[in-house]
Amino acid sequence: MARVYSLAGANLTLANQAVTLAFINVGTTTSLEFLRMWASQSSSNNTAQQRVQISTQVSAFPTLTSQTPAKNWTLDPASQIVGGAAGAAGTSGVNASAEGAGAKSIIYPDAFSIVNGWLWVPTPPETLTLNASATSGIGLHFPAAPGSLGNWNGGISFRETA
């Protein structure tokens, strides 16, 4: 499937607070269809439950580590989304150090065992879409800090549509 990109944060050390693992703010020209999100850790063999949320956020966005989405298919053009630390329109990043004051709307709350990790793959009618110029971003968010803060992975795969 063409024009699919992945924003991935690997081996992250999270702040000891609610934290957004990955965040993408849609741009003005291309809509985004979200196909997959995931989270896992590699520092603990002991099971513990971790809450996770897929949420949208408006107005004031998280402060992130800039990260540009990678192409899933080498022949595709580069993503319209570029790395950015402020969560602005058309940018993406990982591992928020501050969540920003913008209201979050929870779309999909869930919880998982940290030894198994978490994978969200919607059936086709359930994919999420942010339309171009939605002035909104989508985040993979932990509403509470995990017990072990080190060695976290998380990411979002999405398709760019007209």
Partner 1 sequence: MIIQSYMLPPKEQFHITENYIASPPALTIFDETGAVWCLGTDMQPGPHGEYAFSVLRNGAPTGAVASRIERRNGKIRVFTVNGWRQWTGRSFA
Binding site for partner 1 (CB under 8 A): 1, 4, 6, 8, 10-11, 35-36, 38-40, 42-45, 70-72, 110, 112-113, 115-124, 151, 153, 155, 157
How many alpha carbons fall within 13 Å on the CB side of residue 56? Answer: 16
Shortest Å, Cβ 155 to partner 1:
7
Give 105 or 113: the residue with its C-beta nearer to partner 1.
113
Give 24 or 39: the residue with its C-beta nearer to partner 1.
39
Shortest Å, Cβ 25 to partner 1:
22
Rounded Cα–Cα distance for residues 104 and 102 (Å): 6
Q: 141, 144, 136: which is closest to 156 by C-alpha?
A: 141
Q: CA of 115: how far to CAs of 1, 13, 46, 47, 63, in Å?
A: 30, 17, 7, 6, 28
Q: 80, 63, 62, 72: which is closest to 1 by C-alpha?
A: 72
Give 46 or 59: the residue with its C-beta nearer to partner 1.
46
Give 31 or 151: the residue with its C-beta nearer to partner 1.
151
Shortest Å, Cβ 82 to partner 1:
18
